Amino acid sequence: MQNNHTKEHLFKILVIGDLGVGKTSIIKRYVHQNFSPNYRATIGVDFALKVLNWDQETVRLQLWDIAGLPPLRPSPNGRKEDLDSKLSLANGKHVATVLLANKCDQGRDVLTNNGIKMEQFCQENGFVGWYETSAKENINIDEAANCLVKHIIASE
Ligand code: GTP
Ligand code: MG
């Protein structure tokens, strides 16, 4: 039944990271439930919309698929520092950020073996969580998005 009083949220989600890590593929998997092994670099920015039913409320995620960026510097938290220096919310807080380690289907279990270090890294650098994901095998993408939405709603 249509309820005119259903609360609606609109969240903008920026998907950023190095060239070719799978940003477009993650969004494609999340929104269209498919995957292509072919690589076409994103030029500029593409947009996609995902609508979620969330505790009787509607969440619209406007996904900003941003062209891959050249690596900033060797340290992995460079991107997060860059983001935080350029963007904060009206209340002065940093935007909720989740860290994805994609292509986990390729079988390099380096990160899983460093779970505790990853937890610590997230705490120190202000990520609300981290996930090993695969756009190819559809691993942890819904989980990562839900984690982000949960944190955004909690901080509203
Ligand atoms: P830019 O837009 O250039 O920054 O690239 P991107 O980060 O959007 O990467 P894209 O999604 O275009 O994927 C790059 C390549 O990696 C493509 O050939 C994809 O098929 C492949 N790829 C993406 N995700 C995965 C994954 O989870 N597993 C595997 N095995 N390949 C993936
Ligand atoms: Mg892309």
> What is residue 6's predicted lDDT score, i.e. its pLDDT?
79
ipTM of the complex: 0.99
Give me the pLDDT at residue 19, please: 93
Q: Give the pLDDT band of residue 4 (cuts 50, 70, 90).
A: low
Q: Is there an atom of ligand 1 within 6 Å of 19 CB?
A: yes
In angstroms, the Cα distances linking 101 to 8, 18, 87, 155 are: 30, 11, 22, 24
Residue 82 phi, psi dihedral angles, 5° rounding = -60, -45
Q: How high does pLDDT run on average in the chain?
A: 90
36 alpha carbon, closest ligand: 1
Task: Check pLDDT > 90 for residue 5.
Answer: no
CB-CB contact of 15 with 65 (8 Å): yes
Q: What residues pack around ion ligand 2 (CB closer than 5 A)?
A: 23-24, 42
Q: Which residue has the higher pLDDT, 59 or 112?
A: 59
Q: How far is the CA of 39 from the centre of ligand 1 (A)?
A: 6
What is d(CA 3, CA 18) in angstroms, rounded to the nearest whole number?
42
Q: Is 103 in the pocket of ligand 1 (CB under 6 A)?
A: yes
- In DSSP terms, 49 is beta-bridged to 62
Give mean pLDDT, residues 72-95: 83
- pLDDT at residue 115 above 80? no
Nearest CA to ligand 1 atom 31: 103
DSSP state of 137: T
| pLDDT tens by residue, 130-154 | 999 999 999 999 999 999 999 999 9
> Ligand 2 centre from 118 Cα, in Å?
25
* 135 CB within 6 A, ligand 1: yes
Return the pLDDT at 52.
97
